[in-house]
Amino acid sequence: MLRELQQLSRSHGPLRAGTGLVGGIIALVLSTAASLAALVLRFPGALSTPELRQSVEPSTLQALLMACSVLGGALALANALRGRLLWLSGLSFLLMALAALLGGYRPPAEGWQLSAAHTPYVGLDWFVLDLLASTLIFVFIEKQFPLRPEQPVFRAEWQTDLQHFFVNHLLVGFVLLATNLMVHRLFSWAISDALQAWVQALPFALELLLLMLVADLIQYAVHRALHEWPPLWRFHAVHHSIKTLDWLAGSRLHVGEVLLMRTLVLAPIYVLGFSRGVIDAYIVIIGFQAVLNHCNVNLRLGWLEYVLVTPNFHHWHHSQQHEALDRNYAGQFAFIDHLFGSAVRAPDRWPSRYGVIDDAVPPGFWRQLIYPFSRRT
Ligand SMILES: [Zn+2]
Ligand SMILES: [Zn+2]
């Protein structure tokens, strides 16, 4: 079983229909999610995100665990009854047994909301919830409107990007803590009560638009610095080393870049004192747009592409073609690049090759993590 799992996890390419592999892998993902959810319910203080705990009830997480088990169990059973990939079904059932052993199917223990908010934790709940939601939404969008229909879900280097996705989600607590600390230390001198009162008195839509505009201007400047200042490029090159763009590709981000970008984008949000509801709406929009912009999706918006960042706009940012190098920095508003003269003019085409010109960044999560500090740079 372990050898087969190792073989599967090292391979990539399209899944052949009629072999039971599609159902088997979905069952494996669902049963893994179920066992991880059970682990979170068992140790909420250490494995769940306090911010998420405030809005997600343990009963919701448990309902999700149940749904994953029922659906995953049905798929694994269907394969088993047909005698297909028994080892994969066996593995799914083992993971569900683990969820049961951890007490995932019993009523959740008390103390979910009360678990200490200031102990170190890893965001395992955030990983499970985002993985399920992202695969459901974005794989569906990619299959409905594919840019490259021949590109499989399990394309080359999916393992590396899933590792980036996993670690960046687990580190959410560390990133929140570190960026909050830095923002408060570095920028509290700039706070003005009068300015904050003015911002908070704006209508919701206007306040949200102002936040997005300010955040994207900062994002533009930091992103440009990441490209143009060599010590920073070493970190950002990791993101650009991706050669296949899809919903998972955007997760390839060095934690150093995440810390720098988040701190500097959070600074004006903190200084201007935007309302909680506006910040929450912004987080949802930016989270969706950041993933969508990397998707293997043929989405075109006509003249609106001069206003908003779309997949086509950001795909060009990842292109290896000369006309596109160090172009299209904006994350939300394309007009910022048009305004500063840094936009690629290729509205009818899509790039043919992605990646870093000299392919200097090594493959693999750990090697990419140490790449900015290595002599090879
Ligand atoms: Zn870039
Ligand atoms: Zn990108």
What tens digit of pLDDT does each residue of 69-123 get? 999 999 999 988 988 888 889 999 999 999 999 988 887 766 666 565 567 788 8
CB 264 within 8 A of CB 182: no
Indicate whether 44 belongs to any domain.
yes
Q: Which of 115-119, 156-160, 236-240, 306-310 has the lowest mean pLDDT?
A: 115-119
Give 259 Cα–ligand 1 centroid separation in angstroms. 15
Number of domains present in the structure of the chain: 2
pLDDT tens string 246-289: 999 999 999 999 999 999 999 999 999 999 999 999 999 999 99
Q: Which amino acid is at 196?
A: Q
pLDDT tens per residue across span 280-334 = 999 999 999 999 999 999 998 989 999 999 999 999 999 998 888 999 999 999 9
Ranked by mean pLDDT, which of 41-45, 143-147, 173-177 comes out on top?
A: 143-147
Ligand 2 centroid from CA 278, angstroms: 25
How far apart CA 280 and CA 181 sit, in angstroms, is 20
- 223 and 351 share one domain: yes
Do 179 and 52 fall within a single domain? no
Mean pLDDT of the 166-195 span = 89
At which of 93, 119, 145 does a domain end?
A: 119
Does 100 reside within a domain?
yes
What separation in Å is there between the alpha carbon of 299 and the centre of ligand 1? 21
pLDDT at 168 over 70: yes
Cα(355) to ligand 1 centroid in Å equals 10
> How many angstroms is it from 69 CA to the middle of ligand 2?
34
Q: Of 119, 142, 164, which residue constitutes the final position of a domain? A: 119
49 pLDDT band (50/70/90 cuts)?
confident
How far apart, in whole angstroms, are the C-alpha atoms of residue 279 and residue 97?
Answer: 40
C-alpha distance across the termini of the chain, in Å? 40
**Residue ranges of the alpha helices (H) in 188-309?**
193-200, 204-228, 230-240, 255-272, 276-292
Residue 101 CA to ligand 1 centre (angstroms): 45
For residue range 201-228, what is the model confidence (pLDDT) as tens digits? 999 999 999 999 999 999 999 999 999 9
Mean pLDDT, residues 32-49? 90
Do 219 and 327 have their domain in common?
yes
Residues 198 and 286 grouped into a single domain = yes
CA 281 – ligand 1 centroid, Å: 25
Query: 297 or 4, which is more confident?
Result: 297
Q: Take residue 238 and report the two structure tokens written for it.
A: 């990791």
Please check whether residue 158 lies inside any domain of the structure. Answer: no
CA 228 – ligand 1 centroid, Å: 10
pLDDT score of 228? 95
Does residue 113 sit in the same domain as residue 179?
no
Q: Indicate the angle between helix axes 58-81 and 21-42, nearest 10 degrees.
A: 150
Model confidence band, residue 10 (pLDDT cutoffs 50, 70, 90): confident
Q: Are 313 and 334 in contact (CB under 8 A)?
A: yes
Centroid of ligand 2 to alpha carbon of 250 (angstroms): 5
Q: How far is CA 349 from CA 300, 312, 356, in A?
A: 11, 8, 20
Q: Are residues 108 and 181 in the same domain?
A: no
Mean of pLDDT over the chain: 90
In a domain, 157, yes or no: no
Query: How many whole angstroms separate alpha carbon 213 and alpha carbon 237?
Result: 26
Residues 26, 31, 34, 39: is their CA dihedral positive or negative? Answer: negative
Asked if 75 and 217 sit in the same domain, the reply is: no
Question: Checking phi first, is residue 20 left (phi over 0); if not, alpha (psi -120 to 50) or beta?
Answer: left
Q: What is the DSSP string of 112-176?
A: TTTS-SSS----HHHHHHHHHHHIIIIIHHHHHSBSSTT--SS-TTHHHHHHHHHHHHHTHHHHH
Buried/exposed code over 104-125 (b: 16+ C-beta within 10 A; e: otherwise)? bbeebeeebeebeeeeebbbbb
167 domain residue, yes or no:
no
Domain of residue 263, residue span: 173-373
Whose structure tokens read 């980036």? 164
Answer whether residue 128 is part of any domain. Answer: no
CA 26 to chain centre: 20
- What spacing in Å lies between the alpha carbon of 297 and ligand 2's midpoint? 14
CA distance 309 to 18: 39
Angle, CA 362 vertex, CA 360 and CA 367 arms, to 5°:
135
* Distance (Å, whole) CA 119 – CA 45: 7
Note whether 212 and 79 are same-domain residues: no
Q: Domain check: are 86 and 206 in the same one? A: no
pLDDT score recorded for residue 85: 81
Percent above pLDDT 90 for the chain: 66
| pLDDT over threshold 80, residue 195 | yes
Ligand nearest to the CA of 247: 2
pLDDT reading at 337 higher than 90: yes
Q: Report which bound ligand comes closest to the CA of 331.
A: 2
104 in the same domain as 180: no
- Among 73, 102, 119, the domain boundary falls at 119
Shared-domain flag, residues 181 and 107: no
Does 139 reside within a domain? no
Instruction: Looking at the structure, tell me whether residues 71 and 181 fall in a common domain.
Output: no
- Torsions phi, psi of 267, nearest 5? -55, -55
Q: Write the Ramachandran bin of 229: left for phi over 0, alpha for psi from -120 to 50, otherwise beta.
A: beta
Query: Ligand 1 mean position to 224 CA, how many Å?
Result: 7
For helices 255-272 and 230-240, the axis angle rounded to 10 degrees is 110
